[in-house]
Amino acid sequence: MSTHHRVIIIGSGPAGLTAAIYAARANLAPFVIEGEPSSTSDQPGGQLMLTTDVENFPGFPEGIMGPELMMRFRDQAARFGATFLTGKATKVEFGEKPLKVHVRDEIFTADSVIISTGAQSLMLGLEAEERLIGRGLSTCATCDGFFFRGKEIAVVGGGDSAIEEASFLTKFASKVTLIHRRDSFRASKIMQDRALSNPKIEMLWNTAVTEIVGKDQLESISLKNTVTGEESSMAVAGLFIAIGHRPNTDVFKGVIDMEDSGYLITRPDSTYTNIEGVFACGDVKDHVYRQAITAAGSGCMAAIDTERWLEQQH
């Protein structure tokens, strides 16, 4: 049944659920369209559902499992009156009021909308990726580097992210092999120099990862030389995939101002988009920090911006 809401929140990662907690406590009864459980990009709870231990979220000195943390966010939002719909926004109509959000053949209307659909790490598309993420396979050095103290690990990619991750990981790992499919970096010169002069980083040029091996824990990777075709195997305790990110913004194309890379544009130091009454927070607008805590912070900002904007309308 289609319903009208003061605020609809699209996405239920740390940004969306923090926005839901704040909006609920402001008596706005937020309606959260939380995503599709079967999807690896828009799953309820966001990217933390794909991780295991989270040790950098303040307030959990012993660490907490990513899915449990998100369940706690959700319970907290529900306690104050947020309601949830499991599903994915398939179309939005923001040309006139009320704002409309379609979830397949249902249309929900709202006075305001908070977009927190997040981003996804690009993956190699290998069979074991989903099974081993958080079990030796990672897409976030800041989050998981600590688990690889004294171990030999590898990073895939040739852009700034890959070099930044590889350099950061040398603080923990005994050796970092940077695997790139070509023989030159895409990264900026200063970052390249940083990687090439780091004694703990070893380059493996012209190499593709063709298989990730391990049942419950990553054990090794299969490699193929992209020039000679030669195949080999490498034992690694950890593999970090750093080949870029993609914001989940397909549904907003042509509706909300976005960068060429698809990240939504918000007014500086706020969560206002170019559409009146539509706000954006979290990784869908942040390609710099990408942390659960920064996403949560911007979710709080979005709820406060929304509450104040709604007040001004009446």
Q: Which residues bind ligand NAP (CB under 6 A)?
A: 124, 156-162, 164, 181-182, 186, 243-244
- Least distance in angstroms from the C-beta of 298 to ligand NAP: 18
- Least distance in angstroms from the C-beta of 121 to ligand NAP: 9
- Least distance in angstroms from the C-beta of 156 to ligand NAP: 6
Active site residue 143: yes
The catalytic residue among 42, 111, 143, 281 is: 143
- Least distance in angstroms from the C-beta of 15 to ligand NAP: 20
Cα–Cα dist 52/7, whole Å: 31
CB 266, CB 116: distance < 8 Å:
no
- Least distance in angstroms from the C-beta of 266 to ligand NAP: 18
- Least distance in angstroms from the C-beta of 180 to ligand NAP: 6
Helix (H) or strand (E) holding 73: helix 66-79
Closer CB to ligand NAP, 30 or 158, in the complex: 158
Tokens representing residue 149 in the block: 């103290």
Closer CB to ligand NAP, 131 or 194, in the complex: 194
Active site residue 183: no
Q: Which of 30, 29, 43 is nearest to 117 (CA)?
A: 43
Task: For tokens 């969560």, name the residue.
Answer: 271
- Least distance in angstroms from the C-beta of 168 to ligand NAP: 10
Cα–Cα dist 30/76, whole Å: 13
Closer CB to ligand NAP, 7 or 162, in the complex: 162
CB atoms within 10 A of CB 184: 10
- Strand-pairing partners, residue 4, are 109
CB 155, CB 181: distance < 8 Å:
no
Q: Which of 68, 89, 48 is nearest to 283 (CA)?
A: 48
Tokens representing residue 122 in the block: 């690009």
CB 156, CB 241: distance < 8 Å:
yes
- What are the phi and psi torsion angles at 177 (to 5°)? -95, 125
Cα–Cα dist 17/9, whole Å: 8
Closer CB to ligand NAP, 111 or 286, in the complex: 286
Cα–Cα dist 242/221, whole Å: 16
The catalytic residue among 42, 53, 75, 144 is: 144
- Taking CB atoms, the residue at the shortest distance from ligand NAP is 159
Closer CB to ligand NAP, 129 or 160, in the complex: 160
Q: Which of 178, 222, 223 is nearest to 204 (CA)?
A: 178
Q: What percentage of the chain's residues is helix, strand, coil (to nearest 5)?
A: 30, 30, 45
Closer CB to ligand NAP, 72 or 182, in the complex: 182
The catalytic residue among 140, 281, 283, 300 is: 140
CB 288, CB 259: distance < 8 Å:
no
Closer CB to ligand NAP, 135 or 186, in the complex: 186
Query: So which residues are the catalytic ones?
Result: 140, 143-144
